Structure 1
Amino acid sequence: MATDESKADPLAIYAGYSFTDDQSYQAGLSTLYASGALDGLSDETKEDLLRKSRVFYFNQAHGCNISESDAKQLEVEGRRSASEVPTAQAARTLTFAELQALIDQGKTDEIPNNKHIPDALNDAAPSQSSAPQRKKPWEVASQAE
């Protein structure tokens, strides 16, 4: 896989990359929104920061070194579809009514940051304690003398 990517144009791979389907990128993006780092910024500044996050993630994940200006040029020229560019609305916080509607419709997979927790006990063997047994108060006092 790495050999195929190294032969292909990194910008072409970036242009076709679906950041919306990448769970690792989406987890980082939701952390960025939750931290409030984008609150109060203009739309242009937000889009620049989101582009920087996409370029940084893509370069790290694929071992490429594309520049932010190249990525911006791709987006301005329209080579990437609008559905692949994460927007503020895609990662926004749901209202209670929207959340309730998704739950009522059984669409819990569309709720952001919703993890499925299995209704079962852990089958793995318990770990062994590596901490030494705590000394009794009178044992600590006798060792100090």
Structure 2
Amino acid sequence: MSIPADPEALVAPLELYASYPFTFDDDYQNGLATIIAGGALDNDPPEEIRDEILRRTRVFYFNRVTGNAITMDEAREYELSHKTDGARPDTTSPAATAEPISPDDAEPVVLSFAQLQALIEAGKEDQIPNNKVIPDDLNDAAPSASAAPVRRKPWEVDSDTNQAT
């Protein structure tokens, strides 16, 4: 039988977990987007199940990145015991990380797939960088005249070379 872990020793990793910036971690957000695209949150599960799935992703990623070994139960208890009276904003949702893009940014913005998907689903296609509006009609201009000479047929090319010799 193992010796129970010291509760004080768990506080530091749990505090790190609670303050970890999952919202701004691109690797986490890309992984979460892949999980969501795989159907983990399809059929609109109840909030408790949704929170549990998201918690599981956060705990797994946190343990992997930091080398800690907190459990789901420890993370759940810590989150519930430190929850404020107001509802905690969902900071792990890809839609929460989609920031409005201003056209006067000097540096080109690269969106993750999750951010792009969130903007499209929200109907904010105008905020997608380098998004060009292509008209859905034909070109009304008259066709241009061809400037290239007519291509000669093989027998016409041979007759010209035979006559030159």
In which range does the TM-score fall when normalised by the shorter chain?
Answer: 0.5 to 0.7
RCO higher in 1 or 2 (8 Å CA, sep ≥ 6)?
1
Structure 2: stretches of 5+ with no match in the other structure: 1-8, 97-113, 130-165
1:1-145 residue pairs with structure 2 within 5 A? 9-40=12-43, 41-78=45-82, 82-83=88-89, 85-87=91-93, 90=96, 93-95=118-120, 98-103=123-128, 108=129
Deviations 1:23-43 (A, max 9, x none): 110010010111112101222
Q: Per-residue deviation at 1:101?
A: 3.2
Q: Structure 2 counterpart of 1:51, which letter?
A: R
Q: Is the 8 A contact 2:62 2:68 kept in 1?
A: yes
Distance, in Å, in 2 between the alignment partners of 1:24 and 1:72 is 23
Tell me, in whole angstroms, the C-alpha distance in 2 between the residues paired with 1:86 and 1:22.
10
In the superposition, relative to structure 1, how do residues 51 and 21 fare at CA in structure 2: closer, same or farther (>3 Å)? same
RMSD: 2.9
Q: CA–CA distance in 1 between the matches of 2:118 and 2:32?
A: 13
Percent identity between matched residues is 37
**Which residue of structure 2 lines up, in the alignment, with residue 121 of structure 1?**
none
Give TM-score scaled by structure 1 length.
0.56
Amino acid paired to 1:58: F
Q: Tell whether the 8 Å contact from 1:52 to 1:68 is kept in structure 2 after alignment.
A: yes
Kindly indicate which of the two structures has a greater share of residues assigned to helix. Answer: 1
Max radius of gyration: which structure?
Answer: 2
Q: 8 Å contact 2:22–2:28 — kept in the other structure?
A: yes
Alpha-carbon offset, residue 84 of structure 1: 6.8
Runs of 4+ in 1 over 4 A off after TM superposition: none
Number of residue pairs aligned between Structure 1 and Structure 2: 98
